[in-house]
Amino acid sequence: MKAPQETRERLKFLCRVVDKEVKHLDYASRRVFGGPLSYEDVEKLDAAPELAMRIEAFVSRFCRLQDTLGDKLLPELLKALGEPYSAFIINLDKAEKYGWLESAEQWVALRQLRNQMIHEYIEDSQTLFDALTTANANLDVLKRFADVLLKQVADFLARSSSDKA
């Protein structure tokens, strides 16, 4: 089945975005966690605007990559493969079923870190510290999923361009 040009272009665009987001997230992670990040550092963020900006960049890029993968690239790829439109969690279950994602449950748990990193840090430094270190420890989950989806898209595009219309 030859994919419509619009679908092919959207998938290519999303792949370029994901590639850049992974690189930017890696950079932000090195800037925050390159030296040891302690609870005391997080507790004193009000007095450390440079660190606060680096943490903000890390959080933003972590959340952005998750959004691009789960809310944009995955549904677009599934649609291109002929899957019907489904809710977010069903798409994650499909990704797990296809072997693209190790655990839909783990992905949802990582997604819940967003609230802890974005909202709850205002009141609780320990929650922010725990969420930041958990997010950083699980960067490979996001990056593996990105790699797999990028490969799936490349394979799809190669098959689609060689198919007869």
**Strand extents, DSSP E, 29-159:** none
Say if CB 11 and CB 62 are below 8 A apart. no
Given this model, what pLDDT does residue 165 score?
Answer: 46
Tell me the pTM.
0.92
Taking the C-alpha atoms of residue 24 and residue 27, their distance in angstroms, rounded to an integer, is 5
Q: Which residue range forms the structural domain that includes residue 135?
A: 5-162
The total domain count for the chain is 1
Scan for tokens 């997080």, then name that residue: 42
Two tokens, residue 94? 């499909």
Given this model, what pLDDT does residue 143 score?
Answer: 98
CA 2 to each of CA 15, 35, 142, 161: distance values in angstroms, whole numbers, following the listed order: 19, 49, 29, 6
Two tokens, residue 69? 């993968």
Per-residue tens of pLDDT for the chain, all 165 residues: 578 899 999 999 999 999 999 999 999 999 999 988 999 999 999 999 999 999 999 999 999 999 999 999 999 999 999 999 899 999 999 999 999 999 999 999 999 998 888 876 667 899 999 999 999 999 999 999 999 999 999 999 999 876 554
